[in-house]
């Protein structure tokens, strides 16, 4: 499942995938994979991304159940 909330939060802060990746200590490909839904990040990486973007885990990574 694509993570459009992460992409939107990153774009809102005018950060490239590369800039976010450097800030949290991963590769640009990792950030790209998370946004595309091809990579499931560890909880520690999720927390680092949230701190960098000023968001909560719920705001960026909570998956709503479909009704």
* Interval 12-44: pLDDT, tens: 999 999 999 999 999 999 999 999 999 999 999
- Among 39, 3, 64, 33, CA closest to 50: 3
Instruction: Provide the pLDDT confidence category of residue 67 given band limits of 50, 70 and 90.
Output: very low
Does some domain include residue 32? yes
pLDDT for position 64: 72
- Whether 14 is covered by a domain: the verdict is yes
Tokens at 24, concatenated: 């949290």
Show the domain range for 49: 4-58
Whole-prediction pTM value? 0.90
> What CATH number does residue 11 fall under?
1.10.260.40
Q: What is the pLDDT of residue 56?
A: 97
Looking at the structure of the chain, the number of domains it has is: 1
Buried residues in 5-24 as b, exposed as e (16+ CB within 10 A): bbbebbeeeebebeebbeeb
pLDDT classification of 3: cutoffs 50, 70, 90: very high
Q: How far is it, in rounded angstroms, from Cα 67 to Cα 24? A: 34
The answer to whether position 63 is within a domain reads no
């Amino acid at each position: 499942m694509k993570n459009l909330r992460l992409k939107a939060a990153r774009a809102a802060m005018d950060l490239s995938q590369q800039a976010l990746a450097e800030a949290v200590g991963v590769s640009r490909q990792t950030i790209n994979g998370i946004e595309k839904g091809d990579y499931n990040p560890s909880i520690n990486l999720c927390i680092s991304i949230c701190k960098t973007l000023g968001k909560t885990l719920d705001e960026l990574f909570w998956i709503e159940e479909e009704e």
